[in-house]
């Protein structure tokens, strides 16, 4: 994308005014030709597998569509040059602003704490499996992993989930949603959980994630 549209890309990252950026995106970026190119090549499983980017039997090619949608959404709602992920993605460096997204900047912490005032926040930087191992049985109400362990093997993921299941209280919720994998509930503990189909459907409708599981411990 960078190679074929470098001039447009520079323009896209030059805006100081969101309304002007939106007009540019509608008229010059998301053009019919560009959409046809995306459908024929970037989102096309046959083309991607012929080029060796993905295996035909996997659903990986859908990731291109999901990622594109997310990027397009950001471009339509935020000044592109102020989005650190996009500037890093396209230029391999940060152009403007701080290096961290809003929710990770110290000045945002008070606002975040206020929004979830009843929940004590404990920041822990450790492997999720190790963290779970330190906690007693039935000591958690809710465990959520959002794009946290997509790239680990099914075996390692199953270990994480088994530990998470152990520390979860009856009636507690275990949830994971991923962009690029479809980790399933290990069969050994499948009878301990029921799917919250309504929540899973809502997440699926958002089309942001590849797969999602929302499970209640019985």
Ligand X SMILES: C[S@@+](CC[C@H](N)C(=O)[O-])C[C@H]1O[C@@H](n2cnc3c(N)ncnc32)[C@H](O)[C@@H]1O
Least CB distance from residue 148 to ligand X, whole Å?
A: 4
Contact status, residue 28 vs residue 35, Cβ threshold 8 Å: no
Nearer to ligand X, 12 or 158 (CB): 158
The secondary structure of residue 136, as a DSSP letter, is: P
Q: Give the whole-angstrom CA distance, residue 65 versus residue 71.
A: 10
Q: Give the whole-angstrom CA distance, residue 72 versus residue 29.
A: 10
Angle (nearest 5°) at CA 192 between 187 and 193: 90
Least CB distance from residue 177 to ligand X, whole Å?
A: 8
- 167 sits near ligand X (criterion: CB under 6 A): no
- 215 sits near ligand X (criterion: CB under 6 A): no
Q: Give the whole-angstrom CA distance, residue 133 versus residue 111.
A: 31
Least CB distance from residue 210 to ligand X, whole Å?
A: 13
Nearer to ligand X, 30 or 146 (CB): 146
Least CB distance from residue 129 to ligand X, whole Å?
A: 6
- 161 sits near ligand X (criterion: CB under 6 A): no
Token pair of 209, please?
Answer: 């994630």
Provide the mask over 101-130, with x wherever binding to ligand X is found by CB under 6 A and - wherever it is not.
--------------------------xx--
Least CB distance from residue 93 to ligand X, whole Å?
A: 20
- 148 sits near ligand X (criterion: CB under 6 A): yes
The secondary structure of residue 118, as a DSSP letter, is: T
Least CB distance from residue 146 to ligand X, whole Å?
A: 3
Cβ neighbours of 28 (radius 10 Å): 13
Nearer to ligand X, 30 or 78 (CB): 78
* Binding segment (CB under 6 A) for ligand X, from list 12-20, 42-50, 146-154, 198-206: 146-154
Place of tokens 């009636």: 171
- 12 sits near ligand X (criterion: CB under 6 A): no
- 133 sits near ligand X (criterion: CB under 6 A): no
Range 10-14 contact pairs with CB under 8 angstroms and sequence separation of 24 or more: 12/75, 12/80, 13/80, 13/81, 13/86, 13/87, 13/90, 13/91, 13/95, 14/81
Pick from 76, 147, 162, 180: which binds ligand X (CB under 6 A)? 147
List contacts with ligand X (CB under 6 A): 127-128, 146-149
């Amino acid at each position: 994308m960078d190679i074929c549209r470098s001039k447009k890309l520079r323009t896209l990252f030059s805006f100081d005014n969101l309304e002007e950026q939106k007009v540019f995106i509608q008229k010059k970026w998301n053009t019919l030709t560009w959409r046809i190119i995306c459908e024929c090549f970037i989102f096309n499983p046959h083309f991607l597998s012929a080029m060796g980017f993905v295996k035909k039997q996997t659903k990986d090619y859908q990731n291109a569509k999901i990622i594109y949608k997310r990027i397009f959404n950001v471009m339509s709602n935020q000044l592109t040059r102020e989005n650190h992920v996009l500037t890093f993605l396209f230029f391999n460096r940060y152009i403007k602003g701080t290096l961290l997204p809003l929710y990770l900047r110290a000045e945002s912490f008070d606002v975040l704490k206020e929004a979830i005032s009843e929940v004590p926040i404990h920041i822990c930087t450790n492997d999720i499996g190790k963290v779970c191992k330190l906690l007693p049985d039935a000591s958690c109400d809710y465990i959520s992993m959002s794009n946290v362990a997509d790239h680990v093997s099914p075996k390692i993921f199953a270990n994480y989930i088994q530990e998470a299941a152990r520390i979860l209280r009856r009636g507690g919720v275990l949830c994971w949603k991923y962009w690029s994998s479809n980790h399933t509930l290990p069969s050994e503990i499948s009878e301990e959980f029921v799917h919250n189909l309504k929540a899973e459907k809502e997440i699926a409708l958002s089309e942001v994630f590849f797969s999602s599981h929302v499970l209640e411990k019985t």
